Amino acid sequence: MTNMKVEKFQHRWLLPVVILLGFFIDGSLALAFSNFFYDNNLQMAPQLFLMALVVCTFAMPSSNLLFWYALVGGLAYDLFYTGLIGLYTLIGPLTYLLTKALLAYFGKQPIYQLGTFVIAVFIGQVILYFLADFFNLATVSLGGFISDALAPTILLNVVLFAIFFVPARWLLQFIHQKRGR
DSSP 175: G
Instruction: Please check whether residue 94 lies inside any domain of the structure.
Output: yes
Instruction: Please check whether residue 80 lies inside any domain of the structure.
Output: yes
Note if the pTM is more than 0.75: yes
pLDDT digits (tens, 9 = 90+) for 38-50: 887 889 999 999 9
pLDDT digits (tens, 9 = 90+) for 123-180: 999 999 998 899 888 888 999 999 999 999 999 999 999 999 999 888 888 776 655 4
CA 27, 33, 37, 39 torsion: positive or negative? positive
| Residue 33 main-chain phi, psi, to 5 deg | -110, 30
Least confident range from 54-63, 69-78, 96-105: namely 54-63
Instruction: Please check whether residue 4 lies inside any domain of the structure.
Output: no
Instruction: Please check whether residue 2 lies inside any domain of the structure.
Output: no
Domain region containing 88: 14-37+44-175
List all residues 6 or more positions away from 157 whose beta carbon is below 8 Å from its beta carbon.
46, 47, 51, 117, 118, 121
Per the DSSP assignment, residues forming a β-bridge with 38 are: 43
- Whether the pLDDT of residue 77 is over 90: the answer is yes
- As a whole number, the mean pLDDT across the chain is 88
**Distance of alpha carbon 17 from its chain centroid, rounded?**
14
Instruction: Please check whether residue 6 lies inside any domain of the structure.
Output: no
Instruction: Please check whether residue 67 lies inside any domain of the structure.
Output: yes
Q: How many distinct structural domains can be found in the chain?
A: 1
Instruction: Please check whether residue 3 lies inside any domain of the structure.
Output: no
